[in-house]
Every structure is written in structure tokens, then in C-alpha cells.
Amino acid sequence: MAPGMGIKAPVPRTRTGCLTCRKRKVKCDEGKPNCGRCQRLQRECTWSEELQVVPQRRQDRGSATGARIITTASKVPALHLSRPSGQNFVVEFPGIERATIPYLHHFVTFCSRFIAYPNDSEMNPFQEELVPLAVSSPALLNSMAALAAAHLSRSNKQHDVPAAKYYSRALRELNDTLSDPHLARSDSALAACLILCVYEICHSKNSLWLEHLQGARDLILYRGGPKSSNCLTRLFSLLDISGSLCSGAGPLLQGNYWIESGLESTSPEPSKALTWPYYDDNNVMVQHFHELMIYMAKLSHLSAQSISDFGRSHPEVIAEKAAEVKRELQIWWGQCPPDLRDQQTGWRRIPRERKLTVAETLEAECFSSTRACMYGCIIYLYHILDPLGRHPQNPEVTSAVFEILQIARETPEGYGLEMVLYWGIFMAGVAVFNDFVAEDLIRRKLKSDTNVSIYHADRALELLEVLWKRQHQYGTKYDWREVQIQMEIQM
């Protein structure tokens, strides 16, 4: 443990106990069909013999980028980084406060792995490309330390003060950086702005994340526009589209910039971002999720228009546009590869001649989350058309809710996989009406585990709790977008 920091070394955990004990982080005697602890406490004892996903603190050193704190021969604090290939390199931070190094270590070994995709532990551009840039960019360095401290503070409040300190420093340094036209175009400036956006999403209850995201948009435009081959553009697009859906407004940048831009590049060097994350074989997951984002952006625009004065006075226009989006979405979904479109919800329990590799498992998990997002889009579309539930629930919505909840039930907890399911689960929560069993499942899945992801769904769950309470009390549906505005809940 770093002195006074409260940052503990990883502790090996068994993978063979029952899921109930593992979730509660207690020792399991592994008795079957019901272990002794579950029998004694009268809990449901559940097992998963085919659990093949990687925990966030796995001990397989040969397949993940590692980092450790060292002091060089010249007495300079540094991070020693090791790649799966066996290549090692050292990033020195001359002049840095020693108290900051453990936070940078936490950013590299944990936070960076969950900024864009879950368990993104190999060839991660936030580790390999941005950490070296932080040596010469105080804004980026302090934003990284702020995010790491903010994540740690969710389970240990002693990190609140350092988080606020690094955040304030990052803002001050970023303002100084933006005063220089050359530095304002740098990757380090854009990265600092995006990491501060993630900080606000993870650590505050206000809407400052949107201000940082708007600042990132302005920097992207100042740099000449978005480039889809750039990892920072990709992160911006993920935050932009998901944020626009949650806020009920349209995306900040127009067009399908995460797909269309950068195609004219003449650079002979392939971009690392194009093969990111490492477990996405042949970019199948990224390609199809980016295509799904096209329809998510269209739904975001349509949602914003539907609650405008024009939309309220011309519902037929909204209905016509919704029908067109639905038709396009159905055609796209029908053309998706069977591994994605027809994936069985119980794929983890299917007998196989060999177990899936970690990369194969994580890719399959991403297929599940993409399916959940697609079903969430179906619910979102019908909610735009009938936000107050004046008509019987459409069978497509009922089926979408069922599929999302089945995916949520089957997804193992405690591995950081929940972060990619939040959107679908939230929309299922919007669609259910006085279904206490479904509400309990959604509530459990949206409650954050601070040890397995930097993101959380606290405010989404807060909004659902208000929505459900009103529906229980008055026996009628409410528009979550209106409730969000009334309660000033910033998701």
C-alpha cells in the first residue's frame, strides 16, 4: 500500500465459489447444490460452471498490460509499463509530487481499462499513447489523477480532497493550454477535456459533464474536425451519443462522424484505434455498434423534436419520422451477422469442445450489450410516440423488455460488464409498469459496484425510483424526460 494513500495491492480471489458468495465477497465452502453459507442464511445459491469472463483484477500477467511504481537511478518517480508481448518501457515524471504517482498508477491499471470499453486491458490507447503525453502536459496529468482519485473516493472518502485538488489544477492548466493556439490543437488538450468530462459523469451530480463535452467538441472542430481513426474522436462519439439519449437532446456534432470522417487519410501507418479494443476480432463489434449509433443519434434528434413546440403540435410528423427510423433499424438488424443478431441469451452455458478464450468471451459479452442497446432503441422509439402510455403496450416493446431483462439476468456481476448494459436496462425500467419483480431486477443491476467500473447508474436509478413511485401512487404512466426536467436529475 502506498503510505497514506489507501490504495491496496490486488488480492487474488477464487473463481470457483457460488455466485451468491462471490457477489457478497465472502468465503464459500463450495458445497453443491447449495453451499453451507447460503443454506444457513436461507439465500438462493446460484452457480455458473461456465463463467469464463475475466475479473477486473485478474492475475494472468501474460495477457494484460501491467504497471508498477518505481524510482529510477536518477531518483525520478516513474511508472514501469509492460506489454503482453513482453516489451517494457518506463515513463518518468520529473518534478511530480510523489503523492500523485499512485493515482497515475490507478489510472493506468484500472480507470483507463473502463473509459470506453469494459476490461480493455491490452494495447489500450489511453495507457500506451496518453500516459507518455502526460509527462509534458500538466492538464492531462492532473485530469488523470483527478479521475483516479474520484473513483477511489466512491469507496474511501479520504480521496475526495485529492480529487478536488487535481480537478482544480487540471482546469487551471487546461485554461492555460487553450491560450496557446498550438497546444490547443494537441491530443493532450483534447484528452484532458474528455477525461474531465468522464470525471464529472462519475463523480458529480450536476451537468458540468456537458460543458466539458461541448468544450471537447469545440476543440475537435478547431483541430479541423473529427477523425474516426482517432481514439479521442471515438471516445467523444460514445459520450456524445449516450449523453444525447439520456438528456433527451440531439448530438453535439452533426453527421455520422464516428464512421464517415477520416476515410480520406493518406497516412501509410495503420491507426491503433482501428483495432481497439483488443478483443474485438476484425472490428466486428465496433463496426456494428457504430452503425447502431447512427440510429441512436436519429432517435436522439427525434426525441428532442417530439418535446418541442413543433413536435407537440405536429405529432403526425413525429410518427412519420419514427416509422422511417424503425424501418431502417429493422433492415440494418436483419443484415447483422448471426453471431450478433441470433446470439442465444444463455450462450455462456452452451457446452463446447473448448472453453472460450478471454478475448472471445469479452467479444461475446459485447454482442450481448449491443443486443440490449438495440432493444433499448425499440423501447425509446415507441416511448417517443406514446410517452404517457395512452395505448396498450406494443408487443415489440414487451418483447424488447423481456430480452433486455434476460440479458441482464444472465450477465455475470462483478466484472465491469454492467457499464455497457446501463442504457438498455434503464429503458426497460422506463417501459415496465408496476412490475415489482422487474423493478427489483433493474434496481439490482443499476446499483453500482465501485470496484468494477468507473461509471455508475446512480442518477438513472434515482430517476427510475421517482418514476416508479409516481406510477405506483397514481396508477398512470409518466414521461421520464419530463420527470427528469422537473426533478433536475442530470444523467
pTM: 0.81
- Please write down the long-range contacts of 385-389, taking CB distance under 8 Å and 24 or more positions apart: 385/318, 385/319, 385/322, 387/306, 387/477, 387/479, 387/481, 387/482, 388/476, 388/477, 388/478, 388/479, 389/433, 389/476, 389/477
**H or E stretch covering 88:** strand 88-92
Q: 477, 433 in Cβ contact below 8 A?
A: yes
Closest CA to 149 of 99, 78, 223: 99
- pLDDT in the model for residue 378: 97
Q: How is the chain split into domains, by residue range?
A: 11-47, 61-262, 284-487
Confirm or reject CATH 3.40.50.970 for domain 11-47, answering yes or no.
no
One digit per residue, the tens of pLDDT, for the chain of length 491 reads: 333 333 333 333 444 677 778 777 777 877 766 787 877 776 777 765 333 333 333 333 333 456 666 665 556 676 766 665 556 667 777 778 888 989 999 998 899 989 998 888 777 888 888 988 999 999 999 999 999 999 999 888 999 999 999 999 999 999 999 999 999 999 999 999 999 999 999 887 777 899 999 999 999 999 999 988 889 999 999 999 998 988 767 899 988 999 854 333 334 444 444 578 888 878 888 999 999 999 999 999 999 999 999 999 999 999 999 999 999 999 999 999 999 999 999 999 999 889 999 889 999 999 999 999 999 999 999 999 999 999 999 999 999 999 999 999 999 887 777 788 999 999 999 999 999 999 999 999 998 676 778 888 888 999 999 999 999 999 999 999 999 988 887 76
pLDDT for residue 269:
43
Count CA atoms closer than 13 A to 167's CA, side-chain side: 22
What angle do helix axes 187-203 and 138-153 make, rounded to 10 degrees?
20
How many Å apart are CA 431 and CA 425, to the nearest integer?
A: 10
Beta-bridge partner residues of 70: 78
Average pLDDT over all residues of the chain = 84
Question: Which helix (H) or strand (E) is 91 found in, with range?
Answer: strand 88-92
Per-residue pLDDT tens over the stretch 1-26: 333 333 333 333 444 677 778 777 77
301 near 255, Cβ under 8 Å?
no
Q: Are strands 88-92 and 77-82 parallel, antiparallel or unpaired?
A: antiparallel
| Residue owning grid cell 463463467 | 51
Q: Which residues contact 301 (CB under 8 A, 6 or more apart)?
A: 250, 251
DSSP letters of 37-71? Answer: HHHHHT------TT--PPPTT---GGGS-EEEEEE
What is the C-alpha to C-alpha distance for residues 121 and 110, in angstroms, rounded to an integer? 9
Query: Model confidence over 213-235: pLDDT tens digits?
Result: 999 999 999 999 998 888 999 99
The SS3 assignment for 81 reads strand
Tell me, what's the pLDDT at 260? 56
Residue 160's pLDDT is: 94
Amino acid identity of 93? F
Distance CA 376, CA 379 (A): 5
CA distance 295 to 288: 11
For residue 420, give the nearest of 143, 201, 119, 174 by alpha carbon.
119
Of 102, 107, 114, the C-alpha closest to 133 is 107
Residue with cell 433527451: 248
pLDDT at residue 406, rounded to an integer? 96
C-alpha cell at 23: 457477489
